[in-house]
């Protein structure tokens, strides 16, 4: 859709040894991954994990934005790059549809968790109404909250949270419920080229972010009938 072209581009990794702020430390032999963890793909892009859990076949899977990497790309945990590849992109729409990707992880290498830093995901919530305060968390901006402005359509919800390159795919929550997947920042508003990137997550004066309601994403995942169908967070 047209707004996908407005999303912030994925940052190319410089200094790939940097740890994700607030990420938990993995036990020996496994890396810890949960919603908002930084993930690095072998196309040298960085994004944020929406959530991790299991599908209806018992596979350890996760979600992120589709423009992060194509199907078949391998991925690593940004906070534990020395562990090497811990998963693969099982499906990606490459940002040309709803903008989502399904990740399949190696359970021998990954310890899935509900909480990473300020974000805890204990279940799925419905699409938030205008005026609701939602919180997001990503590898670049860290945690922050903002008010929902409204919906551009059923798959695009505009909100005043912060979004920078690398935050794409991060969770959007209300309390401990996952309600959306962060997909970028709106630019070129009203055709006047307005774009004011956020300096910090605490500063509300910036171009709005947008996310896809998680129930819309999960319906699309289920429609594929493949890896990720029946996703439920840990």
CATH number where 195 lies: 2.40.10.10
Q: 18: domain range?
A: 2-116+219-228
Q: What is the pLDDT of residue 10?
A: 31
The model's pTM is 0.85
If asked whether residues 8 and 99 sit together in one domain, one would say yes
Q: What is the pLDDT of residue 187?
A: 73
If asked whether residues 68 and 136 sit together in one domain, one would say no
Q: What is the pLDDT of residue 194?
A: 62
If asked whether residues 127 and 30 sit together in one domain, one would say no
If asked whether residues 130 and 105 sit together in one domain, one would say no
Q: What is the pLDDT of residue 177?
A: 98
- Any domain includes 154: yes
Indicate whether 7 pLDDT > 70: no
If asked whether residues 167 and 54 sit together in one domain, one would say no
pLDDT averaged over every residue in the chain: 86
Q: How many domains does the chain have?
A: 2
Q: What is the pLDDT of residue 2?
A: 30
If asked whether residues 71 and 183 sit together in one domain, one would say no
> Residues 161, 135: contact at Cβ < 8 Å?
yes
Indicate whether 14 pLDDT > 60: no
Between 15 and 133, where is the model more confident?
133
């Amino acid at each position: 859709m047209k707004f996908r072209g407005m999303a912030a581009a994925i940052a190319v990794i410089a200094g790939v040894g940097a740890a994700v702020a607030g990420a938990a430390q993995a036990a020996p032999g496994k890396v810890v991954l949960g919603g908002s963890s930084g993930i690095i793909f072998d196309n040298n892009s960085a994004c944020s994990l929406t959530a991790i859990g299991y599908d209806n076949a018992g596979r350890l899977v996760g979600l992120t934005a589709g423009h992060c990497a194509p199907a078949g790309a391998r991925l690593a945990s940004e906070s534990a790059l020395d562990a090497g590849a811990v998963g693969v992109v099982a499906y990606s729409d490459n940002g040309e549809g709803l903008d989502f990707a399904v990740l399949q992880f190696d359970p021998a290498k990954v310890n899935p968790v509900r909480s990473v830093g300020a974000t805890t995901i204990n279940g799925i919530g419905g699409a938030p109404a205008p005026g609701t305060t939602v919180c997001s968390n990503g590898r670049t901006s860290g945690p922050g909250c903002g008010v929902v402005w409204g919906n551009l359509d059923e798959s695009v919800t505009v909100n005043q949270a912060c979004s920078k390159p690398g935050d794409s795919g991060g969770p959007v929550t209300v309390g401990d419920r996952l309600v959306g997947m962060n997909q970028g920042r709106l630019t070129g508003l009203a055709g006047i080229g307005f774009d004011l990137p956020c300096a910090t997550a605490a500063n509300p004066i910036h171009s709005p972010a947008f996310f896809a309601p998680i129930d819309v994403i999960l319906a699309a995942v289920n429609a594929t009938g493949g890896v990720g169908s029946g996703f439920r967070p840990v």
